[in-house]
Structure 1
Amino acid sequence: MTSAKTIDRLLAKAVDDGVGAGFYTMVARRGGLVYSGGAGTRDGTSPWREDTIAWLASMTKSIVAVAALQLVEHGAVELDAPIVDVLPELATLQVLEGYDGEVPRLRPVRTQVTLRMLLSHTSGAGYSFLSADLARYQQKNRIPTNLELKLASLVDTPLVYEPGTTTMYGNGLEWVGLAITRITGRDLATHLQEAVFDPLRMTDTAFGIVDRSRMATVHAKTPNGLTALPFELPSAPEFLSGGGGLYGTPRDYLTFLRMLGAGGILNGVRLLDSEMLTAAQQSHSMVFGRAASVNPTTSHDIDLLPGTSVSWSLLGMRNEERTPQDRPVGTVAWAGGANCYYWVDTDGATAGVLFTQLVPFADPDVVRLFADIEQAIRT
């Protein structure tokens, strides 16, 4: 059975088994498209297509990281200099060390945060769905959630560890997005449009929905099956989310990945210097493993490569050993909260996306489906 027929079968079976309402996958090899197909529906009626619009959620992070690295190349910001001149709020944040009964243990931050820390998830910034103490603090102090897109969700939320001392997936890219707006003097949407989307002709990727007629419906997996979930980010946010605010399509995102796999250039347009990209793809964090969720309605425990050591590059997660799917060491990969996933080999050998719109995140069945798709491509 060819890899295309295998992927067709995997996607159809996932729909038949109720894993999700619909899926779409695109894969490139050496820059050329080798698979594009889907199964199920995006909205209960219409099929998924390569131009179906979905919430990218945390797949936004890699795009914003590229925009930040462009500014490093241009000398507008340094990776390892304290970034408090751009983000003075970080200097006054406290570290939440835990609780003594009902009283939070807070202390001033001792280490100045850098752009490298924010990009590599070593800055101390956390997510409440991965930290019971942080969730407790935000609830007690009525701090808005990340999805409300209010500045208070950033500036009133303490760090969960001393910057530079460990690795924890968190909202550091929200700060990066804010830094880009202050450095450039432009809102994040305008800057990404001119710096990334227009050069790559990513016409459907934006902080708003460019065409509602192509929008996919988010579903929640419940004990009673899949349930359509009305979801849309705020239309008038206080800030544009560099950590999860973009909508886009499988076709656009694969275009972005092809640029990364080709050394920062695509169709004659260079977005990043090859040396900068190579350095960014290296490990910039401590090795970590499974991330335990404390909010099962938001996410399952996160372990996208079970049994494999992983760390963070400046562009996404990277595996530190070859995977059972034969993924090369150093492949960059990550995902979005509605169970979209991607990988891109640093040498451009393969790149792939799996799109759906399903919560909670890190659904074990979708993670296995993604692994099986990658296996089909690499064998």
Structure 2
Amino acid sequence: MDFKPLALFLDRITAWRIPWAEVLVMHRNETVFRYRSGMLDLEAGTPIDEDRIINIYSMTKIMTCVAALQLVERGAMLLNDPISLYLPEYAEMSVKRGEDGEKTLAKAERPITVRDLFTMTAGFSYDLSVPSIREVIETTAGKVPTRAFAEALAKEPLQFEPGTHWNYSLCHDVLAALVEVVDGRRFGVYIQEEITGPLGMRDTGFDLSAEQRGKMAPQYFYDDALGKAIRHDNNGFRIGTEYESGGAGLLSTVSDYALFLNALTNRGTSPAGVRILAPATVELMLADHLTSATRPDYNWEHMKGYGYGLGVRTHISKEESGSLSPIGEFGWAGAAGCMAIIDPANELTVMYGQHMLNNQEPYVHTRLRNIVYACI
């Protein structure tokens, strides 16, 4: 294995517009390459150093789906269950009908299922400024517990009949609330006790200790008008002090999250024997769950050749993707640019980290993945 081209790529993108980048590659449970490039703090001129904590944003979704799948394994719920069995506020939903500009509301004909939450087919949007969300922020004095968020969102009409379209949305935030109700523990406590704690992930969670706050990496946003990255530290998806967003709320490090990803690479069990999912469940997770109705909506250019599983992209066509990774490679990414590559067939795990919004994902991630596979 020769990873010099991967190091050169990180050097190139950090010389371009991304303040810093880091990659960790594991093969057969051994770290075979780790490299970081660029500046942690552009203003101070501080180079990136080890184990900085970052917002992983939508890579939270992978862990949220694992948490919910654990409850499926235990028989606590089924994918085909209506979520109203557990979240009764979703028993009768209204849905928008008609053409844009002439929308009317009607009663939804089909219930939202647990599967719909996993597969982004529930009918939600990603709009956190809707009236019900603004109201719950006010009525909870800015706390917005995860369960209260789900109750508030149920007041909003659906964008489409459940199951008929794929739409990237707040589905996994509601899935986190579902975990809370089905299990009985607060979502962050469940995550810590069932996943991060057993795996030895000490710097992953929804809130930071005083010591951990000192390890937080500055976050940037690339301003095209100014032609430079500017400091932008807040997580816009953290809408309340008690809100544990299953879609975008976790903080972690490259080292920590690689432990979690590698357990999935090993079909659900860590090298130390900690089992977070059964192999059959991992197979279900990475299966393509798009249908003839929903597939046309999953049309992001950089996802060509990929299907959508239970909260993850999953490689289904090398001819369409142009990717060097094998069929069945899966993972997801986050708003500030981090990315996961999970490859059970090759026993390969890649955790890529950066911390810049306006993250250049279509350019960086597709190239980085091909370079990794060329190097091995």
Q: Report the CA distance between 1:116 and its aligned residue.
A: 1.4
Q: Which runs of 5+ in 2 are unaligned?
A: none
Residue equivalent to 1:55: 55
The answer to whether residue 233 in structure 2 is matched with residue 237 in structure 1 is: no
- The one-letter amino acid of 1:350's match is L
Residue equivalent to 2:80: 80
Distance 1:214 1:184 in 2: 32
- The one-letter amino acid of 2:244's match is L
Change (3 A) 1:69 1:146: farther
- The one-letter amino acid of 1:94's match is S
Query: Percent identity, aligned pairs only?
Result: 27
Residue equivalent to 2:221: 220
Residue equivalent to 2:96: 96
Distance 1:248 1:81 in 2: 32
The answer to whether residue 247 in structure 2 is matched with residue 248 in structure 1 is: no
Residue equivalent to 1:164: 163
Distance 2:153 2:51 in 1: 33
Change (3 A) 1:4 1:236: same
Instruction: Give CA deviations for 1:48-77 in whole Å, capped at 9, x if unaligned.
Output: 345110001110011011111111111111
- The one-letter amino acid of 1:321's match is S
Q: Secondary structure at the match of 2:83?
A: coil
Residue equivalent to 1:15: 14
Residue equivalent to 2:280: 275
Distance 2:14 2:28 in 1: 30
- The one-letter amino acid of 2:285's match is A
- The one-letter amino acid of 2:315's match is N
Q: Secondary structure at the match of 1:270?
A: coil
Q: Secondary structure at the match of 2:262?
A: helix
Distance 1:14 1:154 in 2: 39
Deviates more, 1:31-40 or 1:2-11: 2-11
Change (3 A) 1:125 1:337: same
Contact in 2 for aligned 1:315/1:332 (Cα 8 Å): no
Residue equivalent to 1:298: none
Residue equivalent to 2:198: 199
Distance 1:116 1:319 in 2: 20
Residue equivalent to 2:307: 311
Q: Secondary structure at the match of 1:168?
A: coil
Change (3 A) 1:291 1:346: same
Q: Secondary structure at the match of 2:333?
A: strand
Distance 2:9 2:152 in 1: 40
Deviates more, 1:281-290 or 1:173-182: 281-290
> Scaled by the length of structure 2, what TM-score is found?
0.86
Match of 1:333 among 331, 334, 350: 331
Change (3 A) 1:235 1:120: closer
> Scaled by the length of structure 1, what TM-score is found?
0.85
Distance 1:145 1:119 in 2: 26
Distance 1:185 1:142 in 2: 25
Change (3 A) 1:184 1:153: same
Q: Which runs of 5+ in 1 are unaligned?
A: 129-134, 293-301
Distance 2:98 2:253 in 1: 40
How many correspondences in the alignment?
A: 355
Distance 2:232 2:87 in 1: 35
Contact in 2 for aligned 1:149/1:240 (Cα 8 Å): no
Q: Secondary structure at the match of 2:214?
A: helix
Q: Report the CA distance between 1:363 and its aligned residue.
A: 4.0
